[in-house]
């Protein structure tokens, strides 16, 4: 069974990943359950963000026009 503790662990990883992207000046812009990839289970579960390759190329194009400060 998927517990509240499991969900908390998952969300902590999502927030860390989003924080990392924001530190690099990248916005995912399409966060939804379909864009989360889960590997493993329980305490060994690792969550990865997906579907932002197009976003990164878009952000890089915008960045070249308007550098982030």
Residue-level pLDDT at 67: 47
Question: Which are the catalytic amino acids?
Answer: 30
pLDDT at 4 over 50: yes
Q: Which helix (H) or strand (E) covers residue 39, if one does? A: strand 36-39
**What does the alpha-carbon distance between residue 10 and residue 26 come to, in Å, rounded to a whole number?**
21
Query: What phi and psi values does residue 45 have, to the nearest 5 degrees?
Result: -65, 135
pTM: 0.67
């Amino acid at each position: 069974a998927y517990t509240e503790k499991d969900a908390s662990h998952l969300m902590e990883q999502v927030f860390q990943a989003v924080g990392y992207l924001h530190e690099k000046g990248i916005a995912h812009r399409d966060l939804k359950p379909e864009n989360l990839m889960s590997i493993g289970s329980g305490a060994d579960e690792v969550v990865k963000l997906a579907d932002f390759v197009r976003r990164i190329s878009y952000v890089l194009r915008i960045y070249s026009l308007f550098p982030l400060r």
